[in-house]
Amino acid sequence: MTRLDGSTQDIGALVTAASRGDTRAWDTIVARYGGLVTAVCRQWRLSDADTADVSQTVWLRLFEQLDRLRDPRALPAWLLTTTRRECHHVHRAAKRELPGAIAARLEGQADATAASIDDGLLRRERRAAVRAAFDELPPHCRELLELLLSDPPTPYGEISARLGVPCGGIGPNRARCLDRMRRNPRFRAFMTEPAGPPRSR
CA neighbor of 44 nearest in space, from 103, 94, 104: 94
What percent of the chain lies above the pLDDT cut of 90? Answer: 8
Q: How far apart are CA 134 and CA 8, in angstroms?
A: 36
Q: What is the mean pLDDT of residues 3-23?
A: 70
Q: What is the mean pLDDT of residues 106-118?
A: 45
Q: How far apart are CA 71 and CA 48, in angstroms?
A: 32
Q: Indicate the range of 56-60, 66-70, 140-144, 158-162 predicted with least confidence.
A: 66-70
The domain locations on the chain are 11-190
Q: What is the mean pLDDT of residues 89-116?
A: 51
| Per-residue pLDDT tens digits for 46-87 | 888 888 888 888 988 887 888 788 788 889 999 999 999 999
Q: How far apart are CA 60 and CA 130, in angstroms?
A: 11
